[in-house]
Structure 1
Amino acid sequence: MSVLVEFSMFPTDKGESVSPYVSRIIKMIDQSGIPYKLTPMGTVFETEKMEEALDIIKKAYEQLEKDCNRVYAVVKFDIRKGRSNRLVQKIESVEKKLGKKVSK
Structure 2
Amino acid sequence: MPNVNVSLQVLPNVPEEDIYRVVDKVIAFIQESGVPYEVGPMETTMEGDLDLLMDIVKRAQEICVEEGAARVISVVKIDYKPGGVTMDEKVRKYR
Q: Give the match for residue 14 of structure 2.
A: 13
Q: Give the match for residue 91 of structure 1.
A: 91
Query: 2:50 matched to 1:50?
Result: yes
Q: Give the match for residue 59 of structure 1.
A: 59
Alignment identity in percent? 30
Aligned length: 93
2: CA distance, partners of 1:22 / 1:76: 17
Q: Secondary structure of 2:31's partner?
A: helix
2:77 corresponds to which letter in structure 1? K
2: CA distance, partners of 1:18 / 1:65: 12
1:75 corresponds to which letter in structure 2? V
Q: Secondary structure of 1:40's partner?
A: coil
Q: Secondary structure of 2:51's partner?
A: helix
2:84 corresponds to which letter in structure 1? R
2: CA distance, partners of 1:13 / 1:23: 13
Higher helix share: 2
1: CA distance, partners of 2:90 / 2:14: 36
What's the CA shift for 1:70? 1.6
TM normalised by structure 1 equals 0.80
Q: Secondary structure of 1:83's partner?
A: coil
What's the CA shift for 1:26? 0.4
Gaps of at least 5 residues in structure 1 are 96-101
What's the CA shift for 1:81? 2.1
Highest RCO, 1 vs 2 (Cα 8 Å, sep ≥ 6)? 2
What's the CA shift for 1:44? 0.5
Is the CA contact 1:10–1:21 (under 8 Å) kept in the aligned structure 2? no
Gaps of at least 5 residues in structure 2 are none
Q: Secondary structure of 2:84's partner?
A: coil
What's the CA shift for 1:91? 1.2
Is the CA contact 2:4–2:84 (under 8 Å) kept in the aligned structure 1? no
Q: Secondary structure of 1:77's partner?
A: strand
